[in-house]
Structure 1
Amino acid sequence: MKLVTEYFDLKLKQKDVDFIDINMEGDSKLFINPILLTESIDEDISLMGPKKVDSFFERVFTLYSDGKQAEALSTLFSHSKESNANHLGYSSGESKGNGASKQSLDQLFDTILKTGALAEDIMVQPVSILVFAHDFGQDRMSDLIVSILKKEFVSYTLSEARKLGIPIEVEEISYGEYWDCDTSTWKELRDNWVKGADGKALILTPKQIVSQKYGFSVNDYVRKAVWVWRKDHHVAERTPLARPQYDKNGNVSYIEPTNETLKVEEIDKPYANKDGKWKLYALEMTIENPQLYSQYFDKLNAEGWKNRKTSLTDDELVNIVKESR
């Protein structure tokens, strides 16, 4: 294991540095969380991060809604590349190709545009795309954010290197492309670089903006929004899923179905043998009752995502990095 602090002989520990003291010989299962970008003490990332991510998804939505589906998907996938420079996420052997995600998002966007149900709300929000798009999880979102904010991450890395005396290579290299929100296009980034233990460019990540798991998911949305509505629906309509209950006088009342019953009857059976059945179900229910989306995300916004922010402690980061391979 070659930690950044040890490899560059900084005489510092994780608690003493702002970045994740990653193992440069492995990939730690940590993911950049879009709702934590504002927590970074680096101002470029905390201020420009959310703005650039929003700009990116707005551009994709505009292209798609204008009938330029191929250009939209190219903007989303062809320019954003998986990078191992930050040594985060899944190893290359575990990472999936773009094909399934392209098809999934194409189907999602197409369905949303055809129904008109909360189209802009869903399509421009990275959080909701994670909830509804099959095979587009936190690993792919994390890689995408690194690509969008590559300029900010490289600037942050070089700034930390100068502050701590980490050697910086004098020649410039190409880091690939980053998102320019002023022109709404991808642009090539060339800059100086820090040589990691593997001889390749190293990118450091502020420790405030990563999670092991995002604090939101399709399961959370279904359980806290969709099923609350469905239980009321079944009782009010006295469907077969609402169980009758009689008191001693013979009066009948109805008991709402359990979560397990709803899972079996509304997800497992109707979507049997389909990939991403929870997300398919969540989207169908949201199209049927768009208020579900508004209620769920308005509540999260009202809470400031406070309970969903899952920043990790220094000790937790150390333990996760130790498990990297």
Structure 2
Amino acid sequence: MKKFVDPVKITGLNEPLFDSKKASFKVQEYFKKGFSLYAEGNRELAISLLSEPKEINATHLGLSKGASKGNGPSEEILDGVFQKITSEEFLRNSFMARPTLIPLFVPNFGADRFSDLTVNIISKELAEFTEKVCNELDIPVYLTGLCKYYDVSDGEWKQLIAKLPMGPDLKPILLVPAGLVTDKYKFSVEKFVNSVIFAYLKDEHLNRRSSLITYKEIDGVLTPVKPTNKMLKEHEILMKYKERGMFKAFALDKSLEYPHLLEQYISFIEDEKYQ
């Protein structure tokens, strides 16, 4: 089963050898910086900040095997999504407070890529954690360059030089605390669309007695029947969205149109069942 680094788990992590407080702060500051730059009109700087991270194979997490494919979201995709996000204060604040919402809306940016992004941001803290573990276990480490890490002091990406162990292939290994690893993210655009957005739209269609409403005789009374998810998918998504990542584009547009739906989904995810 594939594993991913979940940034939501950083704050509550109880691992003496890992600076979870600093790592959590860096994740929050990174996204705050990106959205602030975009909101101020510094598009090029914002896109550069958001698109800089690359896949780190040293953790041996995620989906890819072998070398990085380097095929994350394009500048055009990031630009279009963040234009919409920063145009609405509620969405902008929601994203800054909850970075895990990003894979919910950005095409070609799922759990694997968000895990890579998180690892990049906190790679310095992970490297320090790795060195501490190796020192405790008397595992030899070697000074090596690995990737770039996010420096909150100036909001820039810096080259990471760290003491890391080497695998049998003589490539560096970056350890990740088990408490940060998950099988899948709780946030899912499919769940958001099917369980929240479609549920709301079904009532809307029923109230308007739209063309998607069918009728069924129940106890001699002709009763209106709400459209199915399949009907809504055809009518609301497939007929209106032709671009790649249509589910995510639809979910973002509906979040702009009905902000309370995103609030509802966030509340559902962040209740005690999520922990």
TM-score by length of 2: 0.89
In 1, the alpha carbon distance for the partners of 2:97 and 2:77 equals 16
> What percentage of residue pairs aligned between the two structures are identical?
32
In 2, the alpha carbon distance for the partners of 1:55 and 1:47 equals 12
Please give the secondary structure, in 1, of the residue aligned with 2:159.
strand
Q: Could you give the per-residue CA deviations for residues 222-241 of structure 1, whole angstroms, max 9, x where no partner exists?
A: 11210111011011111111
In 2, the alpha carbon distance for the partners of 1:227 and 1:265 equals 11
Listed as ranges, the gaps of 5+ residues in structure 1 are 1-27, 307-325
Structure 1 segments (4+ residues) deviating >6 Å:
none
Pick closer, same or farther for the CA change 1:175–1:95 going to 2, 3 Å: closer
Match for residue 58 of structure 2 among 85, 88, 93: 85
Which residue is equivalent to 1:220? 191
Q: Is residue 230 of structure 2 the alignment partner of residue 260 of structure 1?
A: yes
Q: Could you give the per-residue CA deviations for residues 231-272 of structure 1, whole angstroms, max 9, x where no partner exists?
A: 1101111111122334555x543211111211222122222x
Deviates further, 115-124 or 279-288: 115-124
Answer yes or no: is the 8 Å Cα contact 1:246–1:253 preserved in 2.
Answer: yes
Deviates further, 293-302 or 139-148: 293-302
In 2, the alpha carbon distance for the partners of 1:92 and 1:50 equals 29
Pick closer, same or farther for the CA change 1:110–1:252 going to 2, 3 Å: same
Match for residue 65 of structure 1 among 34, 39, 42: 39
Answer yes or no: is the 8 Å Cα contact 2:54–2:68 preserved in 1.
Answer: no
Which residue is equivalent to 2:152? 181
Match for residue 80 of structure 2 among 107, 121, 126: 107
> What amino acid does structure 2 have at the position aligned with 1:67?
G
Answer yes or no: is the 8 Å Cα contact 1:61–1:124 preserved in 2.
Answer: no
In 1, the alpha carbon distance for the partners of 2:96 and 2:21 equals 22
TM-score by length of 1: 0.77
Listed as ranges, the gaps of 5+ residues in structure 2 are none
In 1, the alpha carbon distance for the partners of 2:3 and 2:49 equals 25
Please give the secondary structure, in 2, of the residue aligned with 1:183.
coil
Q: Is residue 274 of structure 2 the alignment partner of residue 274 of structure 1?
A: no
Pairwise CA RMSD of aligned residues? 2.3
Pick closer, same or farther for the CA change 1:231–1:129 going to 2, 3 Å: same
The alignment covers a number of residue pairs equal to 273
